[in-house]
């Protein structure tokens, strides 16, 4: 029996504190240390081969003679041919949200027309601020602006993570000035996106996690207890990334309003789906600026807004709050300098392409896309419910997480990987999700997913010892003693991504 098996068999069944203590007291014994290293080396070797699959020319240094542009393009065409089929034919959870050729070609054309534009130089490209102002206004009106007395404003950022980081920095600086809070805390459901943890780390805000209930929605009573005089903001997701479940935003934002703190709705995933789902007659709980306690919302245009990758919108209730996001400096030798978001120079072409996507889709386009996605998701949910070994977590709309009481769900995910699927592995509790996009709404794709899933479950049932690549890593992450090692492995993996392939 190897160490991994021993850990799974014994340590993982003990209470976490005791398991940690036992592990820490044995991990430096030479035999144990060797076993651990063996496991890690094996996993790293497997990761290496999947991270660097191409045997094409590499450039550790700038070539002396520039490479022929024709050759560069054909090299990239070759690589694209290897990478495109998987997402194009609907084997990937999330990632590419639209993906039809005509749409992509249109966005590429818009990018080409604007490729030199930089919103930092608004004197040279006033068009960049026109596009951004309208993207913000269109998004705000989709999310309740105009139905509340307050003015809703915002910024275009580079993605959901930047939108969230900006909002958390804004609350920190707002609370410092308005409430003299020096040791800020944020109250965040454990199911909220990792970007909130990132914000806590970057901006020195204390992260106070609250649990979710059996339905995977944030626990409002726990939120109430977690708020202190240092709390600057409370967070809810609409819906959450892991389980696609909408937190009780009305109750949470109400609580925040009563305690005079900020409330952020993370609608990165749902911002461009839920408003249309509501219009289509789906039962969608309130989550946007129509709730008076909601003071900011993040909504990703580069997901279900169907823009090119690299844009998101962060919205605020009122310019007084937004101004805490701004950076300005009046005594820099480089001149009078200001920037509204983290970056200095920014890709104006992405903002232009984002504007073009919103205007080209129109309400009708979004309604049709949403209807197709929700219908496909319904088919997938019904199919999963027919597989007795699996269960769906919570009551999701289109991001569907499933787990199993009978088998290791990561082994099921591994079998799906062998069949060409790229699904998201989640933990606490162990489960896997598929985030349904327009790629999955074409005929036959949902059926293929369900048939492959049925086969995968049958395979794992017949071969329970067949561990595969990711199942052991998730197994390790699930046991506290090993979590530190998994963290080290993630760092090594990032290093690996940054290494130039030796040919
Ligand atoms: C995707 C996502 C984010 C982060 O967005 P990025 O664009 O990947 O930075 C944040 N919250 C939720 C709910 C998301 O789904």
* Spatial separation of the C-alpha atoms in residues 244 and 55, rounded to whole Å: 38
d(CA 74, CA 412): 37
- What is the distance, to the nearest Å, from the Cα of residue 284 to the centroid of all Cα atoms in its chain? 21
Distance (Å) from CA 126 to ligand 1 centroid: 29
Beta-sheet pairing, 262-266 with 231-237: parallel
Phi/psi at 209 (5° precision): -80, 140
Q: Ligand 1 centroid to 309 CA: how many Å? A: 12
Residue nearest to atom 7 of ligand 1 (CA): 160
Give the span between the Cα atoms of 401 and 424, in whole angstroms: 9
Is the beta carbon of 153 within 6 A of some atom in ligand 1? no
d(CA 335, CA 193) in angstroms, rounded, equals: 38
Q: Is the pTM of this model over 0.85?
A: yes
Q: What is the pLDDT along the chain (503 residues), one digit of tens a residue?
A: 556 666 656 665 666 667 677 777 777 788 877 877 887 787 778 778 888 888 888 999 999 999 999 999 999 999 999 999 999 999 999 999 999 999 999 999 999 999 999 999 999 999 999 999 999 999 999 999 999 989 999 999 999 999 999 999 999 999 999 999 999 999 999 999 999 999 999 999 999 999 999 999 999 999 999 999 999 999 999 999 999 999 999 999 999 999 999 999 999 999 999 999 999 999 999 999 999 999 999 999 999 999 999 999 999 999 999 999 999 999 999 999 999 999 999 999 999 999 999 999 999 999 999 999 999 999 999 999 999 999 999 999 999 999 999 999 999 999 999 999 999 999 889 999 999 999 999 999 999 999 999 999 999 999 988 877 777 777 777 776 677 788 888 898 899 999 998 76
Q: CA 119, 124, 125 angle in degrees (round to 5)?
A: 45
Q: Is the Cβ atom of 93 under 6 angstroms away from ligand 1?
A: no
Residue 436 Cα to ligand 1 midpoint, Å, equals 15
Domains of the chain: 1-72+482-503 (no CATH), 113-358 (3.40.640.10), 363-471 (3.90.1150.10)
323 DSSP 8-state letter: G
Query: 247 in ligand 1 pocket by Cβ < 6 Å?
Result: no
Distance, in Å, from the CA atom of 424 to the CA atom of 255, rounded to the nearest integer, reads: 33
Ligand 1 lined by 396 (C-beta under 6 Å): no
Task: Look at residue 406 and give its three-state secondary structure.
Answer: coil
Structure tokens given for 486: 């998994």
Q: Hey, how many other C-beta atoms are within 10 angstroms of the C-beta on 388? A: 9
Q: List beta partners, residue 434.
A: 400
How far away, in angstroms, is 268 Cα from ligand 1 center? 5
């Amino acid at each position: 029996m190897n160490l991994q098996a021993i850990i799974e068999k014994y340590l993982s069944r003990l209470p976490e504190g005791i398991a940690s203590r036992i592990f820490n007291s044995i991990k430096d014994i030479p035999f144990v240390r060797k076993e651990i290293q063996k496991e890690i080396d094996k996993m790293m070797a497997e990761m290496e081969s999947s991270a660097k699959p191409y045997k094409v020319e590499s450039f550790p240094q700038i070539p002396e003679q520039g490479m022929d542009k024709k050759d560069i393009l054909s090299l990239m065409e070759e690589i694209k041919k290897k990478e495109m089929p998987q997402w194009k034919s609907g084997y990937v959870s999330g990632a590419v949200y639209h993906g039809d050729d005509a749409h992509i070609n249109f966005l590429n054309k818009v990018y080409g027309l604007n490729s030199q534009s930089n919103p930092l130089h608004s004197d040279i490209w006033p068009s960049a601020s026109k596009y951004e102002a309208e993207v913000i206004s269109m998004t705000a009106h989709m999310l309740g602006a105009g139905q509340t007395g307050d003015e809703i404003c915002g910024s275009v950022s580079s993605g959901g993570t930047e939108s969230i980081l900006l909002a958390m920095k804004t609350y920190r600086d707002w609370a410092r000035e308005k409430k003299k809070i020096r040791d800020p805390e944020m109250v965040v459901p454990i199911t909220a996106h990792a970007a909130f943890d990132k914000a806590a780390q970057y901006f020195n805000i204390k992260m106070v996690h609250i649990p979710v209930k059996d339905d995977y929605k944030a626990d409002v009573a726990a939120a109430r207890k977690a708020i202190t005089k240092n709390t600057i903001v409370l967070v809810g997701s609409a819906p959450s990334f892991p389980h696609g479940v909408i937190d009780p935003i009305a109750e949470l934002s109400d609580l925040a309003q009563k305690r005079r703190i900020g409330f952020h709705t993370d609608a990165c995933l749902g911002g461009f789906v839920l408003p249309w789902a509501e219009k289509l007659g789906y039962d969608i709980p309130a989550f946007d600026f129509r709730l008076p306690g909601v003071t900011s919302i993040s909504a990703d245009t580069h997901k279900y807004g169907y823009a090119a990758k690299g844009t998101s919108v962060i919205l605020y209730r009122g310019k007084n709050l937004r101004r805490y996001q701004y950076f300005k400096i009046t005594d820099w030798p480089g001149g009078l300098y200001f920037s509204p978001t983290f970056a200095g120079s920014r890709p104006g072409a992405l903002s232009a392409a984002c504007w073009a996507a919103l205007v080209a889709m129109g309400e009708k386009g979004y309604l049709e896309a949403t209807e197709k996605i929700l219908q496909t998701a319904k088919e997938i949910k019904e199919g999963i419910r027919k597989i007795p070994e699996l269960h769906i977590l919570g009551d999701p709309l289109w991001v569907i997480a499933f787990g199993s009481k009978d088998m290791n769900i990561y082994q099921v995910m591994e079998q799906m990987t062998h069949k060409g699927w790229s699904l998201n592995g989640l933990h606490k509790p162990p489960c896997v999700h598929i985030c349904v996009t327009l790629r999955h709404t074409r005929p036959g794709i949902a059926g293929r997913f369900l048939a492959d899933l049925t086969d995968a479950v049958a395979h794992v049932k017949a071969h329970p010892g067949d561990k595969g690549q990711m199942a052991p890593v998730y197994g390790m992450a699930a046991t506290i003693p090993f979590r530190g090692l998994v963290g080290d492995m993630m760092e090594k993996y990032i290093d690996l991504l940054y290494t130039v392939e030796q040919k």
